């Protein structure tokens, strides 16, 4: 499965599992070692864990690295070509990743082409 297909599948899984406020950030034109960030929110640690488990079961690849699995306020799953950020509500507001990368936010539908 190509990297873009894996990204599309990750987005579909997160949407199916009711991740909140899904945002895709296209970093392909920025000099960092990943192509996209996928940022989603959750209200509680149980939902955060469910999102992580759904990605692990539903994707054909495993994360290269992960952080925050114990605390579950900000979970980072690094798949190489894309990174998934799962943030609890207050952490999402505090770190405000979307504002930092606002110029690079895209509609997930753009990835379907």
Residue range 24-69, pLDDT digits in tens = 999 988 867 899 999 999 999 999 999 999 999 999 999 999 999 9
User: What pLDDT score was predicted for residue 2?
Assistant: 62
Q: Is the pLDDT of residue 113 over 70?
A: no
Domains and CATH numbers, the chain: 3-112 (3.30.460.10)
105 vs 111: which has the higher pLDDT: 105
42-47: Cβ within 8 A, 24+ apart: 42/86, 42/87, 42/88, 42/89, 43/88, 43/89, 44/88, 45/72, 45/88, 47/17, 47/18
């Amino acid at each position: 499965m190509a990297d873009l297909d894996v990204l599309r599948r990750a987005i579909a899984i997160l949407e199916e599992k009711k991740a909140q406020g899904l945002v895709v950030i296209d970093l392909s034109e920025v000099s960092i070692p990943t192509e996209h960030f996928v940022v989603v929110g959750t209200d509680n640690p149980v939902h955060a864990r469910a999102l992580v488990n759904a990605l692990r079961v539903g994707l054909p690849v495993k994360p290269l690295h992960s952080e925050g699995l114990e605390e579950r306020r900000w979970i980072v799953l690094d798949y190489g070509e894309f990174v998934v950020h799962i943030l609890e509500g207050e952490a999402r507001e505090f770190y405000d990743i979307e504002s930092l990368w606002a110029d690079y936010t895209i509609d997930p539908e753009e990835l379907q082409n």
